[in-house]
């Protein structure tokens, strides 16, 4: 069993079980030094590991995911009752029903032999899933009562980071799901900086900043993304977040709704649609204010997002008091 680490760089090395374990009898007497490796580099280092794989039912991703969560060479799976396994609270990945159906067929074709899932022990004799959400759900739907699993010894922070590393091996993971994974890690203080996040996920700091742009989108757009996580990429999310900050929230929401409904076909087209309408000359309206004798003494002009009041002999203090009292009632 890999020793628990005290810093992030050591954790990532333990997480992938990457270096020095391929040859039997080799003993690491001194910890590696140098820069922290990316997830991709660590997975390449782990390529020689002899993983306990019966059949790659969901392709190379299953074996790669096992390396990402630190499955050790020669570690034998246990048979665990499915009812004792609970979903991870750190999981944000969308469950692909088509992938589950395909995997169910594969499991049936191979008499139930599958790549072991990875779990950790939690309270009351139960287990928490770290890797293998699709495999577990497929077996559950097929009526299996037990499943082969590798049991890892992890605390909450290690489990959350391991699950994130596992998710990053998924080719179908969306940018929005990566943002949600980052959000979970930062919210629980398992990551302290964008630099840590970039090392763990094998991304650049600029990538991390782009993913975080989803957090600046309007709530209505986030609701659409929860229903369709692939609706927007991180690059477009950053553009739309900047537009929202510039005062075009209504157009951003409407454009995303049109994309969700299929009235706009591509992400590039929704950006063009919003830009065209944000550049249109705003409509103007104007009216005059008259006194009890019908004489005009002030003018109010409304253009786009601005209101201008002008006139001769206005009691400016009275106007200010009126605005302070009345404007809060005008919010949509």
Q: pLDDT digit string (tens) for 172-195?
A: 789 999 999 999 999 999 999 999
pLDDT at 4: 40
The more confident residue out of 121 and 57 is 121
Q: What are the DSSP E strand ranges found in the chain?
A: 78-81, 85-86, 117-121, 127-131, 146-152, 284-290, 296-303, 306-311
- What's the mean pLDDT in 288-308? 81
- What's the mean pLDDT in 323-327? 87
- What's the mean pLDDT in 42-69? 39
Please tell me the distance from the alpha carbon of residue 178 to that of residue 214, in angstroms, as a whole number. 10
Instruction: Give Rg (Cα) of the chain.
Output: 28
DSSP string, 227-258: H-TTSS-HHHHHHHHHHHHTT-HHHHHHHHHH
Please tell me the distance from the alpha carbon of residue 18 to that of residue 267, in angstroms, as a whole number. 38
Q: What are phi and psi of 68, to 5 degrees?
A: -65, -30
pLDDT at 318: 87
Confidence label for 295 from pLDDT (cuts 50, 70 and 90) = confident
Structure tokens, 58: 């969901």
Structure tokens, 57: 């039912």
The more confident residue out of 36 and 218 is 218
CA angle at 273 for the pair 173 and 231, rounded to the nearest 5°: 15
- Relative to beta strand 117-121, strand 127-131 is antiparallel
The tens digit of pLDDT for each residue in 75-133 reads: 688 899 999 999 888 888 877 788 888 888 888 777 766 689 899 999 888 999 998 88
pLDDT at 222: 96
> Which residues lie across from 81 on neighbouring strands?
146
pLDDT at 221: 96
Q: Are 130 and 67 a contacting pair, CB within 8 Å? A: no
The overall average pLDDT reported for the chain is 77
Please tell me the distance from the alpha carbon of residue 221 to that of residue 232, in angstroms, as a whole number. 10
- What's the mean pLDDT in 233-244? 94
CA angle at 282 for the pair 278 and 287, rounded to the nearest 5°: 155
Please tell me the distance from the alpha carbon of residue 302 to that of residue 282, in angstroms, as a whole number. 10
- What's the mean pLDDT in 296-313? 81
The more confident residue out of 49 and 152 is 152
Structure tokens, 29: 């007497």
pLDDT at 83: 92
Please tell me the distance from the alpha carbon of residue 76 to that of residue 78, in angstroms, as a whole number. 7
Confidence label for 291 from pLDDT (cuts 50, 70 and 90) = confident
**Strand, helix or coil at 85?**
strand
pLDDT at 101: 86
Position 6 pLDDT exceeds 50: no
């Amino acid at each position: 069993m890999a020793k628990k680490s005290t810093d992030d760089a050591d954790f990532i090395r333990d997480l992938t079980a990457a270096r020095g374990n391929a040859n039997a009898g080799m003993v690491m007497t001194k910890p590696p030094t140098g820069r922290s490796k990316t997830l991709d580099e660590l997975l390449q280092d782990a390529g020689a590991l002899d993983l306990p794989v019966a059949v790659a039912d969901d392709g190379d991703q299953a074996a790669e995911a096992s390396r990402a969560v630190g499955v050790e060479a020669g570690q034998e799976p246990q048979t665990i009752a499915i009812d004792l396994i609970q979903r991870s609270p750190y999981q944000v990945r969308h469950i692909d029903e088509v992938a589950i159906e395909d995997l169910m067929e594969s499991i049936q074709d191979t008499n139930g032999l599958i790549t072991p899932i990875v779990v950790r022990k939690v309270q009351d004799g139960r287990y928490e899933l770290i890797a293998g959400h699709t495999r577990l759900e497929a077996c559950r739907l097929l009526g299996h009562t037990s499943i082969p699993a590798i049991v890892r010894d992890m605390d909450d922070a290690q489990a959350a980071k391991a699950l994130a590393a596992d998710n990053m091996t998924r080719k179908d993971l969306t940018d929005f799901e990566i943002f949600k994974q980052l959000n979970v890690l930062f919210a629980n203080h398992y990551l302290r900086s964008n630099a840590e996040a970039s090392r763990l996920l094998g991304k650049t700091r600029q990538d991390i900043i782009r993913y975080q742009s989803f957090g600046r989108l309007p709530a209505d757009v986030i609701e659409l993304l929860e229903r369709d996580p692939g609706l927007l990429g991180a690059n477009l999310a950053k553009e739309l977040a900047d537009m929202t900050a510039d005062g075009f929230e209504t157009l951003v929401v409407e454009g995303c709704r049109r994309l969700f409904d299929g009235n706009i076909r591509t992400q590039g087209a929704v950006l063009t649609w919003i830009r065209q309408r944000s550049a249109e000359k705003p409509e103007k309206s104007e009216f005059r204010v008259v006194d009890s004798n019908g004489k005009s003494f002030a003018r109010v002009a409304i253009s786009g997002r601005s209101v201008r009041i002008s006139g001769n002999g206005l009691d400016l203090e009275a106007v200010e008091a009126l605005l302070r009292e009345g404007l809060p009632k005008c919010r949509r």
